[in-house]
């Protein structure tokens, strides 16, 4: 079975085995490893707490909390976005839930088929507030990413079908095939300030505070024609990439697209900015044009892309993550004009003048300079898939997160999963990508590391999904429903 089928089979099985509507919202799950085929679970359900065994000895400081809805439909409670407010150390997360959502002693309820939440957690792991964005009936609201500005305001992006209510604002679906984009602002107390709707699927967001006033960078996929303020974009493929800049009130300043071939799809995965411009990661399945550069996937599967744009949205360059199959997941500026990026690949990888070979489906991590040349390229993996999903950088190094099946090697350390898939987190040196330490977390079933953020005290904040029960750094967490979200804060060095 090809790795492409491994990554997508679970969606086919989920649709075939349930009464889900045919139309599904687009999200970043495949590119972040959340759709790796799960191991069959035969653990009997019970209303009592599940024993996760004796926790591993943990050599540092750590806490973990669980959050999510009461639904048992599987693959619905996921958190792809995590950000840390530098001033307070508070953690802001955004994701989806079904049923009654429990976030510490906070409760929210979903009135639609799939609802989204934004929650704020203090540096000690206590939920300060949670708010819900939902519709009614068969509506779906999927939060895909979150960003926070220096004042503590939060900005969430996602996709919705049907109506969606954000505080006192109700948005209507624009009629796009893959749903409509929503972008919403919340103040530091969790009140919605505004919400805007655009065409297409909203997938990633970043705050740019390099100018006099904060602006927002957003990216997603769209079909047919979509309006972004006074700019109308026309797709040449089944789904093209859009990138746009919004002002602090949600008004569109400019919008740009990356066209694909007819009947094909491309989508962005992550966006970030620095003082000199914009960084973008994306996934393409066929020929796609980024400004003056046209990229064609190397193998039969999809390939990841890393791209540089100037502050006005013009593509400066684009590089293919060239392999028989690859993803480009998160990107984060390195603070000196370059970028850190993470993803997965099979076969032989070529990126920015460096190469690596995969044992199966392995994780790659790279640091590129402003021109796209790789300063270093690292590979981590084992006999089964190791999916790179999240990356964060601080002044002392790099954090990465993802998921591993069975076992994976990180430098001289081997991590062995307790069940099917486990989450991993590792610390790398910024200068050369060497591994300082690596840890796993999870339980008897499948668990996913989907994002990581760096806290101002030097800790890593790992966010992901777990099934029923998991152990994370010596802390046991239990799910409210079937799959729930975990937030794991840890520090070793």
Least confident stretch, 36-45, 64-73, 110-119, 421-430: 36-45
Measured CA to CA, the distance from residue 13 to residue 391 in angstroms comes to: 30
Average pLDDT over residues 434-463: 96
Average pLDDT over residues 306-329: 97
Residue 53 above 50 pLDDT?
no
Q: Output Rg (C-alpha) for the chain, integer angstroms.
A: 20
Least confident stretch, 18-32, 212-226, 243-257: 18-32
- What's the gap between Cα 339 and its chain centre? 17
Return the pLDDT at 306: 98
- What's the gap between Cα 457 and its chain centre? 23
Residue 42 above 50 pLDDT?
no
If we measure between CA atoms, which residue out of 139, 238, 146 comes closest to residue 185? Answer: 146
Split at pLDDT 50, 70, 90, the class of 13 is very low
3-state class (DSSP) for residue 280: strand
Return the pLDDT at 20: 36
Measured CA to CA, the distance from residue 158 to residue 149 in angstroms comes to: 18
175: phi > 0 → left, psi -120 to 50 → alpha, else beta; which? left
Point out which residues pair with 217 in neighbouring strands: 206, 245
Measured CA to CA, the distance from residue 368 to residue 342 in angstroms comes to: 11
Reported as a single tens digit per residue, the pLDDT across 82-111 is: 999 999 999 999 999 988 999 999 999 887
Point out which residues pair with 294 in neighbouring strands: 289
Per-residue burial over 238-253, b = 16 or more CB atoms within 10 Å of its CB, e = otherwise: bbbbbbbbbebebebe
Residue 413 above 50 pLDDT?
yes
Do 441 and 488 form a contact (C-beta atoms < 8 A)?
A: yes
Return the pLDDT at 299: 82
Return the sign of the alpha-carbon dihedral for residues 235, 237, 238, 241. negative
Average pLDDT over residues 206-214: 95
- What's the gap between Cα 191 and its chain centre? 24
DSSP letter for 114, please: B
What the block records as the tokens of 5 is 């089928």
Contacts with 382 (C-beta within 8 Å, 6 or more apart), sequence order: 359, 360, 362, 404, 405, 406, 407, 408, 409, 414
Average pLDDT over residues 243-272: 94
Point out which residues pair with 216 in neighbouring strands: 207, 246
Average pLDDT over residues 402-407: 96
Return the pLDDT at 24: 57
Reported as a single tens digit per residue, the pLDDT across 182-199 is: 999 999 999 999 999 998
Return the pLDDT at 183: 98
Q: What percent of the chain has pLDDT over 90?
A: 74
SS (H, E, C) 383-428: CCCEEEEEEEEECCEEEEEEEEEEEEEECCEEEEEEEEEEEEEEEE
Which of 9-18, 104-113, 281-290 is predicted most confidently? Answer: 281-290
Q: Average pLDDT of the chain?
A: 88
Residue 293 above 70 pLDDT?
yes
Average pLDDT over residues 65-69: 93
Measured CA to CA, the distance from residue 75 to residue 29 in angstroms comes to: 10
Kindly report the number of other CB atoms within 10 A of residue 265's CB atom: 22
Residue 22 above 60 pLDDT?
no
Average pLDDT over residues 126-152: 94
Measured CA to CA, the distance from residue 117 to residue 93 in angstroms comes to: 8
Return the pLDDT at 135: 85
Split at pLDDT 50, 70, 90, the class of 419 is confident
């Amino acid at each position: 079975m090809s790795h492409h089928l491994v990554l997508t089979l679970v969606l086919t099985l989920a649709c075939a085995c349930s009464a889900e509507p045919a139309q599904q919202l687009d999200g970043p799950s495949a590119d972040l490893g959340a759709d790796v085929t799960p191991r069959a679970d035969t653990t009997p359900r019970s209303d009592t707490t599940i024993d996760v065994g004796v926790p591993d000895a943990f050599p540092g400081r750590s806490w973990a909390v669980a959050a999510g809805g009461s639904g048992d439909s599987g693959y619905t409670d996921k958190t792809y976005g995590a950000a840390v407010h530098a001033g307070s150390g508070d953690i802001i997360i955004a994701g989806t839930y079904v049923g009654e959502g429990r976030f510490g002693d906070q409760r929210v309820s979903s009135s639609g088929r799939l609802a989204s939440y934004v929650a704020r957690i203090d540096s000690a792991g206590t939920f300060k507030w949670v708010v819900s964005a939902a519709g009614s009936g068969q509506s779906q609201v999927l939060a895909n990413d979150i960003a926070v500005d220096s004042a503590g305001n939060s900005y969430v992006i996602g996709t919705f079908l049907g109506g969606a209510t954000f505080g006192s604002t109700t948005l209507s679906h624009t009629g796009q095939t893959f749903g409509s984009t929503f972008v919403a602002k919340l103040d530091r107390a969790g009140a919605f300030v505004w919400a805007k709707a655009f065409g297409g699927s909203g997938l990633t967001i970043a705050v740019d505070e390099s100018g006099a006033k904060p602006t927002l960078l957003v990216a997603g996929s769209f079909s047919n024609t979509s309006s972004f303020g006074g700019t109308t974009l026309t797709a040449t493929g089944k789904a093209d990439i859009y990138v746009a800049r919004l002002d602090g009130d949600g008004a569109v300043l400019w919008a740009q697209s990356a066209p694909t071939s007819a009947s094909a799809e491309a989508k962005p995965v992550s966006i970030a900015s620095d003082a000199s411009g914009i960084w973008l990661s994306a996934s393409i399945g066929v020929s796609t044009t980024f400004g003056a550069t046209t990229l064609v996937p190397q193998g039969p599967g999809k390939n990841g892309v890393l791209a540089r744009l100037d502050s006005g949205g013009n593509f400066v360059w684009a590089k293919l993550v060239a392999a028989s199959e690859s993803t480009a997941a998160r990107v984060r500026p390195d603070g000196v004009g370059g970028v850190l990026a993470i993803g997965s690949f099979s076969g032989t990888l070529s990126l920015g003048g460096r190469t690596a070979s995969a044992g199966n489906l392995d994780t790659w991590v790279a640091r590129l300079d402003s021109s796209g040349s790789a300063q270093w390229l690292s590979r981590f993996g084992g006999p089964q898939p190791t999916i790179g999903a999240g990356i964060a950088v601080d002044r002392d190094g790099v954090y990465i997160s993802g998921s591993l099946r069975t076992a994976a090697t990180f430098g001289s350390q081997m991590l062995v999963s307790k069940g099917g898939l486990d989450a991993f987190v590792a610390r790398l040196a910024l200068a050369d990508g060497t591994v300082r330490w690596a840890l796993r977390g999870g339980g008897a079933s499948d668990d996913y590391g989907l994002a990581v953020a760096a806290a101002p005290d030097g800790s890593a904040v790992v966010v992901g999904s777990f099934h029923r029960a998991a152990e994370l750094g010596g802390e046991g967490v239990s799910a409210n429903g079937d799959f729930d979200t975990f937030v794991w804060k840890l520090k070793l060095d």
